[in-house]
Amino acid sequence: QTNGIGAIDLLMEFGADIDIADADGVKPREFQLKCGPEVTAAVQRWLRKRSGDKKRMDGKACELCKKPGGDGVQCRLCSECQTARYRSTACQRSHWSTHKPLCQPFSTRNTITLIPCYADARNGFVQPTAMFSPDLLSIPAPDTPQSHHRFAHTPKNLSAESPKSIVIKVQVPFDVFSNRQNVRFNEDLLVYTKKRDFVCTIRRVDAPEEYDRIFQVVRTKGVGGAKTYFAVELRSKTALIVKVSEVLAERPF
């Protein structure tokens, strides 16, 4: 609960078993969601290493040279699938024969269109899970940016001709006081980006079929059935194109 990622990395590297319960019967695998996204991302990264499982956008390195961005070089995404990173066009060109069979461009077959709802911010605010427990237990923690408490935020400068490619987190209602998801089928889903420059809710009443599909993906493929990350195209304030065929690696937000 102190966001000790270094300690988590050390324990997981040397084979820590996250299914051993403590004296209260609580298992780390179940408890990780309460510790916030950074802890969850770290734990899931190690679990993938152990199992050999791979997910898109697992890390920030180039798909070919395995080097991250930096020193004035920014890794760019494949323009088709928006999930593979490359340091240069040369890297992308050399890796194309490997990436081509795996590349999943946005299409009507693998995407759904959701209708964002921007609820009145006066109706509530968001309290990050990573901050809830420290606040409750009086554990010192860094201040959370005010933007991370946004209940809704409408993006700017959008156009159908130039959609905005982003990574979002889709969160189902979650009860931090128990080890079970506080899921009711018709509840609104919370959606936001890392910077919180896009925050909205997804209501079932606006698009029932699409809601049901993404809800099912989160429940079956998300961590603890509570949250999942997707590559999306935001084409307007009321059109969010989500590629549900690919669940991305857990992100630290």
Question: What digits encode the pLDDT tens for the residues 159-175?
Answer: 777 889 999 999 988 76
Is the pLDDT score of 9 beyond 90? Answer: yes
Side by side, the strands of the sheet bearing 111-114 are 111-114, 239-243, 227-236, 164-171, 189-192, 199-202, 116-117
Helical residues (DSSP H) of the chain, grouped into ranges = 5-13, 28-31, 37-51, 89-99, 129-137, 208-221
Is the pLDDT score of 133 beyond 80? Answer: no
Q: What percent of the chain has pLDDT over 70?
A: 87
Question: What digits encode the pLDDT tens for the residues 65-83?
Answer: 999 988 888 999 999 999 9
Q: Are 29 and 19 in contact (CB under 8 A)?
A: yes
